[in-house]
Structure 1
């Protein structure tokens, strides 16, 4: 850059300012004081510097300011540089550091969120190390600490609005005002939903209604609740659904031991496998229902304290067992189709989809070690009822008793249909045989031999 005085001189770009300058055009046409830093008469070469003038002025100002600079003073300065950890402020001849933690009582992700280079701001001198020439500045200290009189601003049980500023695995932090954040623990988010992660209910920057549950002013902690801003539906659930209430619900999930049925939004109860059917012996809920099925249920019990509802599907229908007492009286002959092969007998499906059990010895085949040697699911058997237990809901049947008064030719035809064969051990046998426990004590002569 050339500047007109009485003669032309050269001004290096690096000497234009104390700070780095990217746009030199901003100086064209303006007058400034310069200092000659190099003179070569033989070559008629003059080099000048504006920076040298600024540095001398800065040194003079520095001498003046360090004499009067004290902790606690409020000074005006210009943002000189911004880093990840803070901003350097030119107080007029001397720089101080405004650390990111002293910029705001609230959360600051980066200093550039609050200040820009060239901004003129007021700051407070927090500390001044004359020996090391280090000055620490604060911006947030210009305002009162937000935690002062916190109990009066946010009384326990008061309901306020706040912004979600952070989400963790265990909850969400909500900013009530700059510098005041409280934690909504995951357990305080919903009365009814099983919240696996806070992000399922809230997002960063969401404005939410919360209730103040607890304040620890000494440790600057506030416990907040979202669910407390609404009535707890469980408080009146036993009145709304007293035991005996019949209602339709939607199957929302299945487990090995039962099905969870939603009665209303986020309110569900359990139908245990033992309460699914009057007639079938259910091993898994998926044998009866699939997800999203709409089924009738009867409320059998509500445990408000444990927040559990017990439901029954079978009680939504008439108990058929008093009727079965005559239909399946001992001595009645009937046919049934094999539905399951167990190690010590077979389960057969009878009329009305009721299950009966035929012990191994009553299959009337001598030397039979397992039903799989002679039988398969779906085959029909001629049967006679040998035991009926209405209380245990158990029907025991016998092929052997059926053929006692039948022609020998009929029995031989039966044997021909079910020859004894060698079988390979089935990995599922142990699991299937566990079902024997549901039939209780069933008389089997082979067990006595």
Structure 2
């Protein structure tokens, strides 16, 4: 054995501190166990392994050869580096640290370190060199001094050569293998050999993606297809989903009209919810198809993102890649049943759910609301807002006025529970009758007088006095009791015209005196 030789030996056995190696010499060699530990402290050798070793001394005091595995590996790596430098072939190295001016790279993972200047890391300036720590790179040796142990590396040279080859090989439809270099909200940049092409999020998957990170991460090795390119501008558009089968090509076999499907809510908008029935195939449940009730104003009131729902296929347009779904169609339509259960004129009880300016909505059941229009709240009371008669949450009995199952409209009435006070009034009175009344409010043209509960009449200015006052307040006051004569009746309009003058001048309309028996409504009266 000659000191400095590199020979192959076999591991015979191992102690807590040493590895005993048979190299075919009259005595075994010994190597410190620490030479076989990796960065995590794990021993990377076992008994029976064949390893290359460097003979350091022929023997020691115990008669063993003194060997080194690490130095043998370093000499081999240095030989490879020298060969790569001479032939201008690439070497692989792992970035171990960020140092001043660039990166420190371990070549061969045994402690042979090279320097990668920051300007040689990429084709474009790199802002965060620390992000390269731990990455394995393909590099070119551009300077070498073995005696000083100096190695200068370049990745940029390798990328420039790769880019030249890639540009020459670009072709629409060709598949390249690349590395994901960066992710953005709109896509991913993939290095396909010195050129970073854009893989837009729309070209990643047939299914909806909120962010590219749902499908890939920086550093992933993926295959992509060339969709478009501009070699002169070095711009490349890539596709990923095109390498998989488009589920829409066979969707017509699975989603016929009337088919029940199950899917996941992947997106909610103001007008509906998108349901993923399988990766790449989505359908829309419009807000109008979510419930038989008309009260659903926003899809989020019924569905949440991530919910699983059962729906029915309503319409399909495979060419446009659109499927319309219905949620309510998987449940029986309650409206036809409602018309059978509650005929016109029947009574039902519901809960006051909310008010509007034009009426009150009554909840009949969980999917049906009926409307009591403001005009159907009272026969004889002037109602300006439903809250004057009802309270939200009250249970009220109502009368069914009309049902429109097709348009899902139910009209209810509250006043129809009792007799019409106006009809009774018109039955009991005629023009010329004397009635008692109380002034309840004034208007520019006269005064309104309450004759009976809920029955009002109008006393115009020219029916108050002769000549007429400029305003009713000059002659009357609120709460004043009056004896009045009915001078006009309009059954259709539910209006009563009153006259104070006619009452004071003694006309009754029933022949109370011969003096006025021939007087007709509308005659000018004088004292």
The two structures share one fold, judged by TM-score above 0.5: yes
Aligned to 2:99: none
Find the aligned partners of 1:394 and 1:287 in 2 and give their Cα distance.
25
Cα shift at 1:212 = 1.4
Deviations 1:279-304 (A, max 9, x none): 34x36345853552554321122233
**Contact 2:348-2:399 within 8 A present in 1 as well:** yes
Corresponding residue for 2:449?
A: 348
| Matched-pair contact (CA < 8 Å) for 1:382–1:399 | yes
- CA shift, 1:61, in A, is 7.6
CA apart distance, 1:242: 0.9
State the 1:38 CA deviation.
6.2
CA shift at 1:144, angstroms?
0.5
> What's the counterpart of residue 48 of structure 1?
151
Could you say which residue in structure 1 is the equivalent of 2:141?
35
* 1:144 and 2:237 are equivalent in the alignment: no
Show the counterpart of 1:97: 197
Given that residues 291 and 367 in structure 2 are in contact (C-alpha distance below 8 angstroms), is that contact kept between their aligned partners in structure 1?
Answer: no
The counterpart of 1:252, out of the listed 327, 341, 354, is 354
Is the Cα contact below 8 Å between 1:16 and 1:49 reproduced in 2?
Answer: no
Partner in structure 2 of residue 378 of structure 1? 479
Select the residue among 235, 239, 249 that pairs with 2:336: 235
Residue aligning to 1:418: none
Q: CA deviation at 1:245?
A: 1.3
For residue 413 of structure 1, what is the aligned residue in structure 2?
none
Secondary structure class of the residue paired with 1:148: helix
Q: Counterparts of 1:301-340 in structure 2 under 5 Å?
A: 301-320=402-421, 324=425, 334-340=435-441
- On the 8 A contact 1:360/1:444 being kept in 2, the answer is no
Q: If each structure's strand is expressed as a fraction of its own residues, which one has the higher value? A: 2
1:365-417 superposed Cα distances (whole Å, 9 cap, x missing partner): 643244233223332223355666767655554434444469xxxxxxxxxxx
Match of 2:398 in 1: 297
Distance in 1, matches of 2:214 and 2:232, equals 32
Shift of 1:147: 0.5
Partner of 2:57: none
Which of 288, 310, 319 is 1:209 aligned to? 310
Structure 1 residues 271, 135: closer, same or farther in 2, change over 3 A? closer
Mapped partners of 2:436, 2:165: distance in 1: 113
Distance 1:117 1:365, change over 3 A: same
Q: Distance in 1 between matches of 2:317 and 2:188?
A: 32
- Structure with greater contact order relative to length (CA < 8 Å, sep ≥ 6): 1
| TM-score, normalising length: structure 2 | 0.61
How far did 1:119 drift? 1.9
Aligned counterparts of 1:392 and 1:132: Cα–Cα separation in 2: 81
The TM-score normalised by the length of structure 1 is 0.70
SS for the counterpart of 2:248 is coil
Deviates further, 306-315 or 210-219:
306-315
Q: Label 1:246 to 1:62 Cα distance change in 2 as closer, same or farther (>3 A).
A: closer
Deviation at 1:339, TM superposition (A): 2.1
Q: Distance in 2 between matches of 1:45 and 1:332?
A: 130
Q: For residue 279 of structure 1, what is the aligned residue in structure 2? A: 380
Please give the alpha-carbon distance, in whole angstroms, between the structure 2 residues aligned to 1:25 and 1:344: 92
User: What is the distance in 2 between the residues matched to 1:25 and 1:276?
Assistant: 78
Q: Per the alignment, in what secondary structure is the counterpart of residue 324 of structure 2?
A: strand
Secondary structure in 2 matching 1:350: strand
Q: How many residues align?
A: 399
Long gaps (5+) in structure 2 = 1-103, 508-519
CA, structure 1 residues 136+396, in 2 after alignment: closer, same or farther (shift >3 Å)?
closer
Asked if 1:22 corresponds to 2:124, the answer is: no
- The Cα shift of 1:121 comes to 3.1
2:457 and 2:229 map into 1 onto residues whose CA distance is: 92
Q: 2:287 aligns with which of 181, 186, 195?
A: 186
Cα shift at 1:99: 0.8
Mark the CA change 1:209 to 1:376 in structure 2 (over 3 Å): closer, same or farther: farther
Q: How far is the alpha carbon of 1:145 from its aligned partner? A: 0.4
Deviation at 1:253, TM superposition (A): 2.1
Counterpart check, 1:11 vs 2:115: yes
Per the TM alignment, residue 244 of structure 1 is displaced from its structure 2 partner at its CA by 0.7
1:443 and 1:359 mapped to 2: Cα distance? 15
Judge conservation of contact 2:143–2:153 (CA < 8 Å) in 1.
no
**Matched residue of 1:22: which SS?**
helix
2: CA distance between counterparts of 1:129 and 1:118?
Answer: 25
Structure 2 residue aligned with 1:226: 327
SS in structure 1 opposite 2:479? coil
Partner Cα separation in structure 2 for residue 2 and residue 105 of structure 1:
41
CA deviation map 1:260-288 (0-9, x unaligned): 444344533444454333334x3634585
Query: Cα 1:116–1:392, aligned 2, differ >3 Å: closer, same or farther?
Result: closer
- The residue aligned with 1:421 is none
Hey, what's the Cα distance between the residues in 1 that align with 2:456 and 2:236?
Answer: 88
CA distance in 2, matches of 1:116, 1:147: 27
